[in-house]
Structure formats: C-alpha cells, structure tokens
Amino acid sequence: MAVGDLSLPVMHPVDGIRIGIAEAGIRYRNRRDLVVFELCEGANTAAVFTTNAFCAAPVQLAKTHLQQSPARYLLINTGNANAGTGAKGMDAAIRSCQQLSSMTAVPASAVLPFSTGVIGEQLPVDRLISGLPNALNDLSAENWEAAASGIMTTDTLPKGASEQFELDGIRYTVTGISKGAGMIRPNMATMLAYVATDVAVDAALLQALLRDVVESSFNRITIDGDTSTNDACVLVATGRAGNAIVTSEKTALYEALRVVLARVFQRLAQLIVRDGEGATKFMTVQVEGGASTQECCDVAYAVAHSPLIKTAFFASDPNWGRILAAIGRSGVPDLDVSQIFVWLDDVLLCENGGAAESYTEALGAAVMQKPEITIRIALGRGEFNDTVWTCDLSYDYVKINADYRS
C-alpha cells in the first residue's frame, strides 16, 4: 500500500537522452523488464554505488567502465540481480555490454550495466541479449514514464520526478526515475536511480554534486535496514541546453541546478519509502540539538530501524517508550537523557527525559491515526540537526518477502 501521493508529474524529456524499453523475459513473461538509456556524445556521467562488499557483477563492471570511457549507454534489467554469481555472473555482464556495443558501434566500456532482482541466480544473458533489438528500436526521448515502470521489481507504482527552471533566458530540465521498495538502507544511494539534466557540467564537479545531493536524499532513507548488493545512482549532464560549461560551485547556474537537483533527488528517495513493501505509514524522524551530524543520524536511524517502533506505528499504538529505548541505544557518547524532548507531530511526549505533564494517551492515539507522522527529537547537546525518512513494518512486508521467489 503506497502512502501519500505517488503520482508521476509531467516527465519532461532531456535533450540528449533517448530511452528504449523491451520485454526480455528475464524472470516473468509479459513484462517489460529491459531498459536502455542512450546518452548523447559529449555527455558527462557521474555515479555512486552500493557499499555492500558482495556487490553485484554489473556494479563491479560499471565502476570499471566509468574509468575507461565516457558512458554512451545504460543497460538495465530487472528480475535478476546478477549478484552472488561469481565468474559466470561477471561473464554475463561483460557479454551483455559487448552485445550492445556491437549493435551501437561504441566501445563495450561505454556501456554501463545495471541489474536488480533475485540474488544468487545466474543471469539468463541470452534472453537479455535477445531483447536488445526491440529496446533499441523503441528509443525515444519521451520514454521516461515507461522506463520508470520498466525498472520496477516489488514496487507497486513507477517513481519519477521532473522540473524545469530558467536562468538568463535559458530553460533547463532535470528529470529522473527511481525504483525500490525493499532491501533499502543505503550507504550511498538506493536500489536504482537515474537522473539527467541538459545543463553542461564539468565531469569532476558533476560527481561532487551527485555526492552532495545523494547525501541529503537517498542516504537519508530506510525501509528495513538492509543495504542491497545492487544499489546504483546515476546523474547525467548532456550539455544540450547550450550554456557555458559549469566548472565552479561559485556560479548562479550551479546553485540553481543544485537546488532543483536536491528537490528531485529528495522526491525520488521519498517515493521509495512511500512505496515501501507493505507500508501504511510514512514516518519522518527529525533529530535536532546534536553535537554532530553523525550523532543526529545515529539517533534517527536507531529509531527508524527499530522493529518495535515500526510495528507500533503499523498498529497506531503510541507506545513512545520504544522511542526512548532506541535513542538510548543509539551509541551517542555521554548522552544526558535529562535534556531530551520528544514529540509526535506537535504532541509533546517526553520532556527532560520523562513523560510530559501535558501528554495524554488520547493525544498520542490521535496522531497515530495519521498516514504521515513526524517524530521530532531534541538532544540538547549542540547545533546540528538531520532528518531520516522511513515507514512502518506491517504483516504485508513479511508476506512479500516470504513469498519473494515463489
């Protein structure tokens, strides 16, 4: 069950990007499960990947290819993660890139592969390859919405965001898609996300910009605390808007682009949480008054990962003692609990480390009926603050993951 508005906006095409989608039968019949992005010559590409040591073969290969050639194609399959597949899995990833390369007259290193789906099963690479002609025949600048559906696994709805802005008489576009609903606790990005802009941006600056916006978006969400083997997030700058290339953060265009990218990335990240497997509540965990960003995040994630808190929210039970317990085990050194305040939306639960005099069970229960709830925690230790987004843990999450391979 999705929480809140997951509707797609108008998905503005990005000049220099074409996308093709095809049915390859990777795992299921009658499902479009193969997506190809064609990037114009001269585009710059930045990417971040999972920190999971068991990273998938396509992740390893994409990292290598990024060091060798400018990216010209992104090749994405669903239904099979090609992770935990050893040398055969790497051979399959290499073959898929080589085949697309031979069909498009670009070096194999100009193809970046991505996979998502079941871990530990060999990729049916012959099926993938057989789907490539149809994907290439389908290439169109208008295919962002279809691509958002084509990269889904347990997602219930396609996820996308798109904005345009003007500066000095030039209109610029930022459009992106993401997928993910489970195995979400990123340490760089989450599951799969692809964002493009027609702004011309220097390659090194683009990579730094990507890391910046990822930190406040995909690196601030969690569904179940599991970091995937296949997480990848890609940002492409085609340069087709016609601006002089941005090489410094100290320009008006850089700042305007950063602001829009931050909104687009945050929307794509939050859509993943809103569509979390079995989710019925969208939870914002705000921590303020920390001595550092790290301890704010430590507290926020301790709350966001707690199955006791997540199941209480599913039951709409204001069992706020579980929140205090999570704060206490978050690892913050020398934590003075007498300084801590906690709110559910605007209802004060805890003041100076104990039950707030104004709190009643009825007030807490009323907040817990809402589909979107904010937990706000004041530590009273410093000037730092941070925010994490998560969802509740329901019966359906267990059912979805118990039946995932059936």
Tens digit of each residue's pLDDT (9 = 90 or more) over 125-139: 999 999 999 999 999
Q: How many domains does the chain have?
A: 2
Predicted confidence at residue 189, as pLDDT, reads: 43
Residue pair 375/344 in contact by the 8 Å Cβ criterion: yes
Residues noted as catalytic: 190
> Are 36 and 147 contained in the same domain?
yes
Overall average pLDDT of the 207-220 stretch? 95
The two three-digit tokens of residue 215, written as one number: 């930190």
CA distance 303 to 386: 13
3-state class (DSSP) for residue 39 = strand
Predicted confidence at residue 34, as pLDDT, reads: 98
Predicted confidence at residue 226, as pLDDT, reads: 73
Percent share of the chain, pLDDT over 90: 85
Question: Residue 366 sits in which domain range?
Answer: 282-402
Asked if the structure places residue 128 within a domain, the reply is: yes
Which of 274, 296, 326 terminates a domain? The answer is 274
Predicted confidence at residue 404, as pLDDT, reads: 63
Asked if the structure places residue 226 within a domain, the reply is: yes
Neighbour count for residue 3 (Cβ, 10 Å)? 19
Task: Name the pTM for this structure.
Answer: 0.94
Chain segment 291-310, per-residue pLDDT in tens: 999 999 999 999 999 999 99
168, burial (CB in 10 Å: exposed 0-12, middle 13-18, buried 19+): exposed
Which of 223, 242, 274 terminates a domain? The answer is 274
What pLDDT band is residue 40 in, cutting at 50, 70 and 90?
very high
Helix/strand/coil percentages in the chain, nearest 5: 35, 25, 40
Predicted confidence at residue 232, as pLDDT, reads: 93
Overall average pLDDT of the 335-347 stretch? 97
Q: Where is mean pLDDT largest: 49-58, 73-82, 188-197?
A: 73-82
Q: b/e map of 289-298 (b: 16 or more CB within 10 Å)? A: bbbeeebbbb
Q: Would you say residue 25 has pLDDT above 70?
A: yes
